[in-house]
Chains A and B, each alone.
Chain A
Amino acid sequence: MALEVKGLTAGYGPVTVLRGVDFEARAGQVTCLMGRNGAGKTTLLKAIMGLVELAEGSVRLGGVDLQGLPAHRIPCHGLAWVPQGRRLFGPLTVAENLEVGGLTRGNRAEVREHVLTLFPRLRERLAQPAATLSGGEQQMLAIGRALCLEPKVLLLDEPTEGLQPSMIALIRDAVLRLRAEGVAVVLVEQRVEAVLKMADRVAFMAHGRVEEMVEARRLEPGARQFLDYVGV
């Protein structure tokens, strides 16, 4: 098991958002997180990354307890997060963004080559400032920059939000390829069709908990869980 979350309780100051979350992500699988707005999906990713203080529970990555580590030390253990909204370093070029992504890993040439093979579009844009890329290209760069950390677990927060279908397909293909390479992918996704195409397992969240964890092959469009937890 790559990532194991047990009894996680966390929030922002006096507001508790996560209430005893149990969750796991396995190597070579895509685990989707689904739930309505406010269910705690993004907060769970932030808590895993050490950006939200844990009140209770534990986060373990490959057997290593991440609790209490400073947030900047967590990516060194093989965990990478692509937040919603991409958050690139706009004035830096594509190449420079990738360079910053790989700084703590020594910027190995084969890692960069792997990213550029996964997203050939980025190779054509290496000298271009990130702020001038299209939305889809920015998302590719955000994922590529995270991959420069050579993660065992990749957390993606709604990576296809607002993208055109051709870009969504490219992102989806990249995710599936990463899965085939053995990366554990945790994907926050709201679109049922995308979940059914990519996910191995789906965690349905509500009220700050994972209420159900279901094998994706047991789900189909219109399944009860989609209606109960997402409203579609």
Chain B
Amino acid sequence: MKVWASHLAVVALLLALGFLLPPYHATNMARIMVLAVFAMGYNLAFGYTGLLSLGHALFFAAGIYAAGLPIWHWGLGAAPALILGLLGGGIVAGVTGLLALRTAGVSFMIVTLMFAQAGYLTLLYFNGVTGGDEGFALPASGRMLFGADLSTDLPRYLTAWALFSATFLATLALVRSRFGRVMVALRENEERARMLGINPFTAKLAVLVLSGAASGLAGAAYGVLFGYAGASFATIQYSILPMLYVLLGGAGTVAGPLLGAVLMFALIEVANDLTSAWLFIVGAVLVIVVLFAPKGILGALRDRFFRGLP
């Protein structure tokens, strides 16, 4: 009960922030929540199951384009576009997983990276359909959800909050389920899990599909809420981003991706104000965190104070 109450409190706090924050910060917070959904998807694969992927940009981009292209070309509405984004991310992750999961460790990382690069180049190659490197702006008609205009502050914030909350609570339920224990078992010792009758390939494929679906949903939400889709979302930067959020906030913790996204956003803002070499400051902070809290901030807190934190 305590676990659910504390996570519901996070959800309630984020809802309240939507009404308290000034527009600039509310927009930033909406962006953070969408990126946290992406990071939560990544965390399922990496944090809970030990699948170190460099291909999640592909799943994020699959979501953006699965949602954005039908809006752009055929005037689809936001609600079905978000569903298409979720399905797009899941399907692309499933196909990628069918091949990539035949490898493990560093090979898995390289194969997923190659898939993402292939996806990026495909987006550029078919620029007539995808808009290529320049991308495309989503028309206002595709940014309406149940009569609310998602290009305005409060509806955008509340939509980001709703998607975040659904993913956040679904993740909590998943990792506390039997399947969640299987994920941890695979991360800790795949051979041992296999010797207990668990099929690692099937289980990891299921995790990757869920992870890809969450990433796809985040991509679709990003496109719909902020009105733009472009091939840059398929670059390696968007594979590294959720990894950094997860590493900073705490891999294998439900709230870690949110914390990581908030801190990284704040860190970049502060560092950007201080110097044009802001990446140097961000890098130094990340090195310090990895040195002193290798399991991330919530991972370190769990080890010391909150043993039962999922």
Residues of A whose CB lies within 8 Å of any CB of B are 49, 51, 70-73, 75-76, 80-81, 83, 87-92, 96, 99-101, 103-105, 129, 145-146, 148-149
**Distance (Å) between the CB of B49 and the closest chain A CB?**
12
Given contacts A51-B191, A100-B193, contact A72 B199 (CB under 8 A): yes
Are the CB atoms of B194 and A100 closer together than 8 Å? no
Min CB gap B200→A, angstroms: 7
Of chain A, the residue at the smallest CB distance from B179 is A103
- Complex alpha-carbon distance, A83 and B196, angstroms: 12
B144 interface residue (CB < 8 Å to A): no
Q: How far is the CB of B123 from chain A (nearest CB, A)?
A: 37
Question: A76: which B residues are within 8 A, CB to CB?
Answer: 197
Known contacts A89-B189, A91-B184; is-contact A103 B197 (Cβ 8 Å): yes
Tell me the residues in window 168-219 of chain B with beta carbons closer than 8 Å to chain A beta carbons. 178, 181-182, 184-185, 188-189, 191-200
> For residue B200, which residues in chain A have a CB less than 8 angstroms away from its CB?
72
By a CB distance below 8 angstroms, the chain B residues around A99 are 178, 181
Name the CB-closest residue of B to A90.
Answer: B188
If A91-B184, A92-B181, A92-B185 touch, whether A100 touches B196 (CB-CB below 8 Å) is yes
Do B181 and A145 touch (CB < 8 A)? Answer: no
> Which residues of chain B are near A145, meaning CB under 8 Å?
196
Task: Compute how far the CA of A43 lies from the CA of B192 in the bound complex, rounded to whole angstroms.
Answer: 16
Tell me how far the C-beta of B103 lies from the nearest C-beta in chain A, rounded to whole angstroms: 17
**Could you tell me if A104 and B307 are in contact, using CB atoms closer than 8 angstroms?**
no
Out of B181, B189, B196, which one reaches A149, CB within 8 Å?
B196
**Complex alpha-carbon distance, A13 and B282, angstroms:** 46
Please pick, from A73, A103, A146, the residue contacting B178 in the complex, using a CB distance under 8 A.
Answer: A103
7 contacts between A and B (CB under 8 A): A51-B191, A71-B194, A90-B188, A99-B181, A100-B182, A103-B197, A149-B197
Contacts of A89 in B (CB 8 A): 181, 184-185, 188-189, 192-193
Q: A92-B181, A100-B196 are in contact. List 4 more A-B contacts (CB 8 A).
A: A72-B197, A72-B199, A89-B181, A90-B188
CA distance A96 to B307 in the complex (A): 14
Query: In the assembly, what is the distance between CA of A101 and CA of B192, in Å?
Result: 10
- Min Cβ gap A73→B in Å is 8
Determine the chain B residues whose CB is within 8 A of the CB of A92 once the complex forms.
181, 184-185, 188
Q: Once bound together, how far apart are the Cα atoms of A88 and B194, in whole Å?
A: 13
- Bound together, the chains give a CA A73 to CA B201 distance in angstroms of 13
A72 and B194 contact, CB distance less than 8 A: yes
Which positions 201-257 of chain B face chain A at CB distance < 8 Å? Answer: 252
Closest chain B residue to A129, Cβ basis: B307
Q: How far is the CA of A175 from the CA of B151 in the complex (A)?
A: 68
Assembly CA distance A148 to B178 (angstroms): 15
CB distance from A214 to the nearest CB of B (A): 29
Decide: B195 and A100 in contact? CB cutoff 8 A: no
**Max chain B C-beta neighbours (<10 A), residue from A72, A88, A92:** A72
User: Which residue among B178, B192, B193, B200 has the maximum number of chain A CB atoms within 10 Å of its CB?
Assistant: B192
Bound together, the chains give a CA A90 to CA B178 distance in angstroms of 16
User: Which residues of chain B are near A75, meaning CB under 8 Å?
Assistant: 195-197
Question: CB-CB < 8 A to B307: which residues of A?
Answer: 129
> Which residues from B are CB-within-8-Å of A101?
196
Partner of B196, one of A51, A104, A129: A104
In the assembly, what is the distance between CA of A91 and CA of B310, in Å? 10
A116 and B192 CA atoms in complex are apart in Å by 21
Cβ-defined contact, A96 with B181, below 8 A: yes
Chain B residue with Cβ nearest A105 = B197
Residue of B nearest to A49 (CB): B195
Asked whether A87 lies within 8 Å of B178 as measured between CB atoms, the reply is no
Chain B residues lying within 8 Å of A87, measured Cβ to Cβ, are 189, 191-192
Chain B's nearest CB lies how many Å from the CB of A103? 6
Across the A-B interface, the 5 shortest Cβ-Cβ residue pairs: A104-B197, A75-B197, A89-B188, A72-B194, A87-B192
A96 contact set on B, CB distance < 8 A: 181
Q: Which residues of A contact B189 (CB under 8 A)?
A: 87, 89
Q: How distant is the Cα of A148 from the Cα of B188 in the complex, in angstroms? A: 19
Given A75-B195, A149-B196, A103 and B182 touching (CB < 8 A)? yes
A100 touches B181 (CB 8 A): yes
